[in-house]
Structure 1
């Protein structure tokens, strides 16, 4: 305990007490900068266009409840990157993509015209401007105060602030979704696990104030509905904002035991159930939870080839076996574009253990969604790659992943979550209450 306190005190001393900017700097948001902090202008080469508001309104063909139609379906790939020509694009390829191309010669990245489609409600933009002059980190960087919605640090000064921008980005007020996950083994075998999932966001809700948060970011629940041998198992999570001050609370109902158990730890390196040992607790949503076990470095902004506008793999009716190929997700269904991203490196602090001793994150400048992560073990070997394939849920509007993958290079296998092509589309208007996310509620539903 004393060692942990000492580490936190040292971290606090190394971080600025606040990251607030003056009114003139904050006023740039919505002017030469887009409202969440990205550069409004395109690049000099013309390969990245200016941000013009993103996809803030649905296409004419969209009806509520539909899988989101592809507004860029007429686009053709500009070029393709594979093992034969990847050296030409090395500067724009994350090491994880380079290794994926090297180890799977048939794999490729289809590079499409860049569209800066990320958008959020106006109130999130307004809150972000307020936060720029008021938000600050507390608890040695393990919590944030002075904000209740929006991006907390649109002018990040260090890697910790940048990762908080991802953790606290807008993802809707509430969501009900039915998705499938699969651990695809080296021989191509897998079993789909279907879950009904509810999320009630506290931070980011319309009208919420800092006093309303009570150190709570969101509530989360899932119920397994397939396969039959796991059906009925469920989980509830109460996600705290400062997880060093108060660790997240989690309860699991096991159908076999017919009882609810409080999980002592569902964070950091703890393995998620039913992922074949490929997904730690903190890889959900590319990264989640307290940042206290890593040293965070803001490397800077770069132009990189990243998954973006992934509508093709999101479309209704695609058989899951067409998506889940041996060795990788079907590259024919994936889309990559050139975007500016913030590069953040995280190095595991001494005294802590984790399969990933180093990670390199690539955060979209327009949304703060993590798009890819290079994963390294304690020897410095590149052992994995995470991807988040995002779309704009323009009926909210909200920009977020429709599919997430983790490639395990050592095991020659991968894990995928978010398969929803043959399920009802997300319901962003579902009525949820805090009382739905308790151990008692889990027990009632299990019985």
Structure 2
């Protein structure tokens, strides 16, 4: 009897493993665009109507642009209510552990202003079609650390996910525009709120939109990223180049740094996993960028489930070009009088560091927006299991281009009382989407020219 049970368990596990690695059936894929949105979210609203039905997202003319910058389609709305440390218990079923920790850490200043929910996420029709191809064809390879049968679609690897690893791959492979350039700033405020700004010029390019990228190189390519520091003067001219692959076990991330002072290009293997983030004053790791980036291979990924959570969303007010950075940055956290939260459904996943692997975070918990497959909240625990850092990705829809993206990311150290905010562009020129990227511009040889001060 015991032998029979053992054989049954082995067989069941084997079948489960096979289903985890397989693409979905045509019958399941047919739900995309019907009962599910084209990206795999529940199209219907929730039972009490506080989350509405998805009806296509924001239109491209949702609000007029101001000097090329977004304006707020919801500027006349007022909060339904405000959550503070005093009334947090009343709403805790729709708050994350990280939000509860922030309310406890900053009881007088941290608040969550909850507005009506708008399901604004939308991408171009061609990307919806790509997501359906992914659902039918994409599989996990290399023990889940890479993607197979993905190069024809390239976006949203698993719009109908079966496990936590597939969900994090959706975040990694989400649509972020047809190549993009942006000028952004980063700050790491002290406990008293004092700060200095670091200015960056970022460029990101994708194989689908790089016509001169050779087919062999494109086969395993995920994205190409270049970041140039433009201020302060002591850092200006330093340039980072990153090549990310679909299977980072087969082909690990490649990174190079051009040091303007030394005028030399060097390989940068530290730009991965928990290596220090650029000019971050030790406040974030490389894989904290974009809420989570890089290879997922050092963690075991668990799907906890789906839930309704108040998340930072439609963050047009706090990212407005009418504001100065001094209006946004405050001691302890960003100005919560400007931050907007809405009730949305999220996928909750947990990553636990594998035995024998190394990362300063022993456990990570992520909350992934169902409509855009973007990580919008995170909780990062140290090796002792203590909550250390809380992440918030403030979402905005670049409606004129149909791109859901971050207005900025904030990562709060609830132990030290400091934080880092990255990606702000209130006082910068508009982001550029859809520029023609050349593979030649993302080579180590091109770094020296990019770093000329």
Query: Normalised by the size of structure 1, how large is the TM-score?
Result: 0.93
Check if 1:371 corresponds to 2:385: no
Structure 1 range deviating more: 313-322 or 408-417: 313-322
Secondary structure at 2:406 match in 1: strand
Q: CA deviation at 1:194?
A: 0.2
Distance change (3 Å), C-alpha of 1:71 and 1:210? farther
Distance 2:268 2:55 in 1: 45
Q: How does 1:40-439 map to 2 (within 5 A)?
A: 40-59=43-62, 61-62=64-65, 66-106=68-108, 107-147=110-150, 148-202=153-207, 213-439=218-444
Work out whether residues 345 and 359 of structure 1, in 8 Å CA contact, stay in contact via their aligned partners in 2.
Answer: yes
SS of structure 2 residue aligned to 1:268: coil
Q: Tell me the C-alpha RMSD between the 2 structures.
A: 2.1
Q: Distance in 1 between matches of 2:68 and 2:187?
A: 24
1:151 Cα deviation (Å)? 1.3
Cα offset, 1:204, TM superposition = 7.6
Count of residue pairs brought into register by the alignment: 436
- Partners of 2:382 and 2:269 lie apart in 1 by 25
Structure 1 residues 22 and 172: CA distance shift in structure 2, 3 A: same
Deviations 1:333-389 (A, max 9, x none): 100000000000000011122221111100001110110001111111111101100
Name the SS for the 1:123 alignment partner. Answer: helix
Residue-by-residue CA offset, 1:131-185 (whole Å, 9 max, x unaligned) = 1111101010011121233311111111100000000010011111000001112
| Matches of 1:96 and 1:401, distance apart in 2 | 19
In structure 2, the gaps of 5 or more residues are: 1-12
Q: Does the 8 Å contact 1:203/1:217 carry over to 2?
A: no
Structure 1, residues 67-105: CA drift from partner, whole Å, max 9, x if none?
Answer: 211111111100000000000011111001001001101
- Note if contact 1:203-1:216 (Cα within 8 Å) is conserved in structure 2: no
Deviations 1:298-350 (A, max 9, x none): 11110011110000111113111111101110001100000000000000011
2:412–2:419 Cα contact (<8 Å) kept: yes
**Counterparts of 2:161 and 2:215, CA distance in 1:** 21
Who is 1:3 aligned against? none
What secondary structure is seen at the aligned counterpart in 2 of 1:83? coil
Q: Verify the 8 A CA contact 1:19 1:153 in the aligned structure 2.
A: no
From the superposition, tell whether residues 15 and 232 of structure 1 become closer, same or farther in structure 2 (CA, over 3 Å).
farther
> Aligned equivalents of 1:204 and 1:373: distance in 2?
31
Task: Find the residue that maps to 1:298 and give its secondary structure.
Answer: strand
- Structure 2: distance between partners of 1:429 and 1:124: 14
Structure 1: give runs of 5+ residues left out of the alignment: 1-9
What is the Cα deviation at residue 17 of structure 1? Answer: 6.1
